[in-house]
A = this chain, B = another copy of it.
Amino acid sequence: MVKIQHDHIPKLDDYRKIVGKDVIDKLRESSEHLRDKHIVHINATAVGGGVAEILNTLVFLMNDLGIDTGWRILLGSHSFFKITKGIHNSLQGGKWSMTSNRKHVYMEYCKRNSIINHISDHDIVVIHDPQPLGMIEDYELKTHWLWRCHIDISHPNPDTMKFLLPYIRKYNGVILSHPKFKIKNMKKPQVIIHPSIDPLSTKNKNITKSKAKQMLSKRGIDTDKPIISQISRFDPWKNHFGVIRMYEKLRKEHKDCQLVLMGDMAADDPQGPMIYHKVQQKTEKIPDIHIITEKNDLLVNALQRQSSVIFQNSIKEGFALTVSESLWKGTPVIGTSAGGIPLQVIDGKTGYIINNEKEGVKRALNLLNDHSLRNKLGKQGKEHVRKNFLITRHLQDYVDLFSRIYPPSRL
């Protein structure tokens, strides 16, 4: 028996002052009948990337609601994670081939995880992303299995999808981040749940302007010059090179600005160090560029707060929660229309959607030159996030979904 004491572990009541009493009350009332249900989440990594961040709050808020919620981190070798990264990229449309050897290694590691995890007696199993997807193969399905896919699978590599589809179809349902990600010929329910950010996490909590400035100064960033930034993992889909090109053009018009590229490398992503190295080579001779790989959520917080403009120049995205993080700090975002970016960046209201780099340069210049425009978009962005992309809304969506599986008894 675990003696749960919350301390600084996320508690629902802490969110009351941010989202209001009604939101919290509804969460408690609507989840009453789910008390003591036994749920388990399984994903690839405990640190790094949006999925881990969400689970780090969501799992504990579920426990706070009285739902007995476990969380397991996938076991995997380097070669396994290389393969799951290939699956990940090719589900987003990248070229890659699911060879029979790769299939074998993938399924063997799913089986290893099935052997060492004892999850057959849970009321609901939530499997996150493709890494642990195949684990379902090793279980006699006595309970409800949900596949929670966080990535854009609207135009998957057909071979990869052909390999995964038989496993996906064994699930009782699939959760996607956006309607356009829905799987064709799925034959099972597909539910849309947008991801979210935690306004009380180190990355998003309120910090003072002077604290933020001090942190940036310490890393050699001039806090008197405008800061343009992109915060995203070093990953081929984030198009860091496009941001660098836009910055080079911007500097011709607005000489005193600087670019910060900040991103960590997740434990399950062997491509990170390679992209990082290329970005460093590319930027060696360009002035006022700062590349930060420090894993430091408070520094991300400071950077998002102090930036004048933030780019999210992704080619493909699951959802791009960094956009909501930036908007939550009142900073407008210039983004592509990949994945969930347009749900967060309302063109002309919370930032700008761009179709090419020329537009990106133009919009960034506008924002750099117009303080009151930046402020207006910033305020609107924050309200947009409060309504739609905070963790409490996310939790309510899960409660509603679980209630479809285990409905409250009728009076």
A-side residues, CB < 8 A to B, are: 1-5, 7-9, 46-47, 56, 59-60, 63, 68-79, 81, 104, 107-108, 111-112, 114-118, 120, 138-140, 202, 267, 270, 273, 293, 295-297
Contact = CB atoms under 8 A, between A and B. Distances in A.
Contacts of A76: 46-47
Nearest to A75: B46
Given A3-B140, A7-B108, 20 more contacts: A2-B115, A2-B138, A3-B138, A4-B138, A5-B111, A7-B111, A8-B108, A9-B111, A46-B76, A47-B76, A47-B77, A56-B75, A63-B116, A69-B116, A70-B116, A70-B117, A71-B75, A73-B74, A79-B202, A270-B295
A74 B46 contact: yes
A139 B1 contact: yes
Given A9-B111, A295-B270, A56 B77 contact: yes
Nearest to A109: B9
A9 to B, nearest CB: 6
Contacts of A59: 116
Contact of A112 (B9, B77, B81): B9
A140 to B, nearest CB: 5
A1 B241 CA distance: 49
A60 B7 contact: no
How many subunits of this chain does the assembly comprise? Answer: 2
A115 B60 contact: yes
A73 B60 contact: no
A325 B76 CA distance: 21
A233 to B, nearest CB: 14
A120 to B, nearest CB: 6
Contact of A296 (B63, B78, B112): B78
B120 A1 contact: yes
Contact of A63 (B77, B115, B270): B115
Contacts of A81: 47
Contacts of A270: 295
A1 B111 contact: no
Query: Lowest 4 CB-CB distances: which A-B pairs, in order?
Result: A71-B116, A73-B73, A46-B75, A267-B267
Given A9-B112, A46-B73, A140-B3, A78 B120 contact: no
Contacts of A273: 293
A68 B120 CA distance: 14
| Most central of A78, A116, A118, A139 by chain B CB within 10 Å | A116
A372 B111 CA distance: 46
Contact of A108 (B9, B72, B111): B9
Nearest to A38: B118
A59 B113 CA distance: 11
A59 B79 CA distance: 19
Nearest to A293: B273
Contacts of A117: 70, 72
Contacts of A297: 78
A360 B293 CA distance: 37
26 contacts: A1-B139, A2-B120, A2-B138, A3-B114, A3-B139, A3-B140, A4-B115, A7-B104, A7-B107, A7-B108, A9-B111, A47-B81, A47-B267, A59-B116, A60-B112, A60-B115, A63-B115, A70-B116, A71-B75, A71-B116, A72-B72, A73-B75, A78-B297, A79-B202, A270-B295, A273-B293
Contacts of A46: 73-76
A176 to B, nearest CB: 25
A59 B107 CA distance: 18
Contacts of A79: 202
Contacts of A120: 1-2
A81 B202 CA distance: 16
A293 to B, nearest CB: 8
